[in-house]
Every structure is written in C-alpha cells, then in structure tokens.
Structure 1
C-alpha cells in the first residue's frame, strides 16, 4: 500500500496527492496533520466511492483509503 505523506502541506495538496496515488493503487494510506485536511480527504474518498478508516496518531492523522 502506497503512503502519501501530506503532513505540513496546504490544501488542496493532500487531495491532489491522494488522487494521484489512487490512479495506480487500489488503497493508499494518507498522513495529514490538520483536522480539516482529514475531513477533506474523507470527503474526497467518499465522492470517489472509497471507504476510509482514520487513526489519530501522536500529532497527525493516518487515513486508510480503500
């Protein structure tokens, strides 16, 4: 599974990187450090028909998009 490390990036970069990764992978792990980025990635995944699971790590969020 590909890991998209979008920590420290501004929107819409996490979405753009997630979209690019999903072109070649069926599932990706996305790392973001802001709650609004987490929400945006979850919304994007839902619009693409993907499911997400989120883990609140120490200072960042790990989002698995499948």
Structure 2
C-alpha cells in the first residue's frame, strides 16, 4: 500500500527540515533530498503498526502576503 502526503521543506541553519502536514512527522538532512529520504523512513515507521486515516482528503497549499 502507498499513500500520498503533503510535505513542506524549510532550511533551518545548516539543515533542511521536511515535515508532513497530515500528521506533523518531521525529519532533517543536510540536503533537501536527504531530508525527504529521512522523512520517508520516519513515515514508514510511523505507519508501521497503524492504518492511515483520511488518505484521500485533498489538501490545498498556497502562499499569501500579509502587510506588516
């Protein structure tokens, strides 16, 4: 079985942090690719003994500008 998840990657100091929006699981790496690979492994472990809920719920991600 496989599922699709929404991932945000942000640079924090010398690391890239990848976070899954559906369940808040996060991981890091020295490169974007490494952070995503590490997140994939973390998600596989997270879902190892459980069945994901709401796997077909569409997610809308956007950016917005806020006046300060």
Q: Which TM-score band (shorter chain)? A: 0.3 to 0.5
**Between Structure 1 and Structure 2, which shows a larger proportion of helix residues?**
1
Higher relative contact order at CA 8 Å, sep ≥6: structure 1 or structure 2? Answer: 1
